[in-house]
A = this chain, B = another copy of it.
Amino acid sequence: MASAAAAFVQRGKKIVAIGRNYAAHAKELNNPAPKEPFFFLKPTTSYVTSGGNVEIPKGIVAHHEVELGLVIGKGGRDIPKSNADAHVAGYTLAVDMTARNLQDKVKKQGLPWSAAKGFDTFTPIGPFIPKSTVKEPHDLRLSLKVNGITKQDGTTADMIFRIPRLIEHISSIMTLEEGDLILTGTPSGVGPIVAGDKVECALTDADGKELASLGFTATARQGGYEFTE
């Protein structure tokens, strides 16, 4: 049987997603760059594997945010930066889909982000990438195309808070477990996708080798939640 880390999509319990971890992205949404990391939770019911459909609820403006994912191997609490790497089993490529108009509304009201980030299919997810195949996680290229046109093309070198700091921060608040996923934030270029759009993402290393790809099609959600102002 595969380890819980390699099978994180089926067996992981939580997704911890970092906000505003790239200065250019914070700026494009008129948000201040954070002084310490912050995060929100996404439910694992939001996963959809490559080739699937991202369903856009009625009335929702759904933005793509391509991100590097960290898959936790060894669980832990109060993990120091110096030992954070020992807790990472591998990486993945993910899209943190965001209901931007709902998020804007709840932000103004001081309400949780959980619905805006947590709709079914709002976390398209690539394959598990064993850690041994990645030389330097802070030197990877993240790209996302909509209908063949590049919208996001950034490097993990631009993270404001690097991976060990993220793991230290999260695990000082909540215990990490094998199979948990950490989304590390998105570079600039986020924007809406609408039903019918085809999205392709890639993660490549400094040598130009593709470590993972991830594709999905946007469709209109039938039934379910409807956003109104």
Chain A positions near chain B (C-beta within 8 angstroms):
13-14, 16, 19, 38-46, 57, 77-78, 106-108, 110-115, 118-120, 172-177, 223-225
Copies of this chain in its oligomeric complex: 2
A216 to chain B, nearest CB (A): 17
Q: A120–B77 contact, CB under 8 A?
A: yes
Q: Specify which of B39, B45, B119, B120 is in contact with A115 (CB 8 Å cutoff).
A: B39
Q: Interface of chain A, helix or strand or loop or mixed? A: loop
A-B contacts besides A13-B13, A120-B175, 7 pairs, CB < 8 Å = A13-B43, A13-B44, A38-B106, A38-B112, A41-B43, A112-B112, A112-B113
Residue from A57, A78, A115, A224 whose CB has the most chain B CB atoms within 10 Å: A115
Residues of B contacting A110 in the complex (Cβ-Cβ under 8 angstroms): 106-108, 110
Are the CB atoms of B38 and A111 closer together than 8 Å? Answer: yes
* Residues of the B chain whose Cβ atoms lie less than 8 Å from the Cβ of A177: 45
* Contact present for B107 and A174 (CB under 8 Å): no
Min distance, Cβ A175 to any Cβ of chain B, angstroms = 4
